[in-house]
Amino acid sequence: MTELNIADVIRALTAELATDPSSLVFLELGELLRRRRQLDAALKVAMAGTARYPDLADARDLCARIHSDAGDGESAFDAWMEALRLDPTHLGAHKGLGFLYFRSGDHRRALRHLEIAVTRTDEPGLHAAIARVRAEMERAPAAPVAAPPAAAEARVPFVLDASSSVDAPAPDPEVFHGLGASQQGLLLLDTNGMRLGGGLRNRDNVDVSDAAAAHMAGVSREAARAARLLELGAWLSVTAECLDGNLHLSAPSADSVLLAVRDASIPAARLALLAERAGDAARRWLERPA
């Protein structure tokens, strides 16, 4: 498509969106504007579409790519994490986070996201990126992990576009040491959605640990925000009673979240006590000497 044709398409899409603000053409329009480096206009279109469709992962992905092109790695990171919360299998979010983590020096998380992404697309660039990450890990296996890209000047200078579960690096089995059978149905994750220990299985006995962890990325921030808006102080725990089971969320540390799950026959109060014991074990594990 020539530059002249792109301009015509942008004008046509702009007119269509003006006529019907609820149209999903904002995704195509925002992407075309992004490619032409009209980033302010692209972001305005993307943010308006996101406000209209807050549960649309593709809209968050578009915002993330625009932020990334503008050099705002922190906003890009947050938008991609939100896309994964809405759709744990989103290709673009996994690719974007993979490259952001790589640029920030966190090769383990970068590899996890890129390997998930490559199960959904056979792009040669992804295979090359994975090979590069692995080479870096082999060169410096004991290198300290860098700060998450939300706090780093991470930039992704190209288009990133969802995915199914791939085994992440094995979580430490010692997290809930001493709880015996009680450690079933316990999942410890960091605030970026990376599983640290424990695991969850659904009714079909399928391991859903990594998908659940990714889906809960940012949950502690949302809980803290809600508590702050309601002027309730720091959040300590959240309990959800469902038809077929009960859930209990707590924060063993500022950077981690613990999810405890039991069937409906276990009262919520008893689940809270179990979660408290598990939280103590998780804290000891998190505070162990490096």
Per-residue pLDDT of the chain (290 residues), as tens digits, is 555 588 889 999 999 999 999 999 999 999 999 999 999 999 999 999 999 999 999 999 999 999 999 888 888 988 998 998 888 889 999 999 998 888 888 888 889 899 999 888 888 888 888 998 998 888 865 444 444 444 333 333 323 332 233 333 344 557 786 676 566 789 898 877 788 888 888 777 777 887 778 777 777 777 777 777 777 777 788 888 887 788 888 888 888 889 999 888 778 878 888 888 888 888 888 887 76
Instruction: Note the pLDDT of residue 162.
Output: 27
Tell me if the pTM is above 0.75.
no
Instruction: Note the pLDDT of residue 146.
Output: 41
> What is the rounded (10 degree) CA torsion for 231, 232, 238, 242?
-70
Q: Are 187 and 199 in contact (CB under 8 A)?
A: yes
Task: Report the alpha-carbon distance of residue 58 to residue 92 in Å, rounded.
Answer: 8
Instruction: Note the pLDDT of residue 91.
Output: 92
Instruction: Note the pLDDT of residue 278.
Output: 87
Spans of all domains in the chain: 3-151, 180-286
Instruction: Note the pLDDT of residue 269.
Output: 77
Task: Report the alpha-carbon distance of residue 129 to residue 226 in Å, rounded.
Answer: 39
Task: Report the alpha-carbon distance of residue 134 to residue 52 in Å, rounded.
Answer: 40
Instruction: Note the pLDDT of residue 165.
Output: 31
Phi and psi dihedrals of 237, rounded to 5?
A: -160, 160
What DSSP state is assigned to residue 21? Answer: T
CA angle 260, 265, 251 (to 5 degrees): 15
3-state SS class at 160: coil
Q: Are 77 and 160 in contact (CB under 8 A)?
A: no
- As beta bridge partners, residue 195 has 189
Domain 180-286: top CATH class? alpha beta
Instruction: Note the pLDDT of residue 238.
Output: 86
CATH level 3 topology of 3-151: 1.25.40
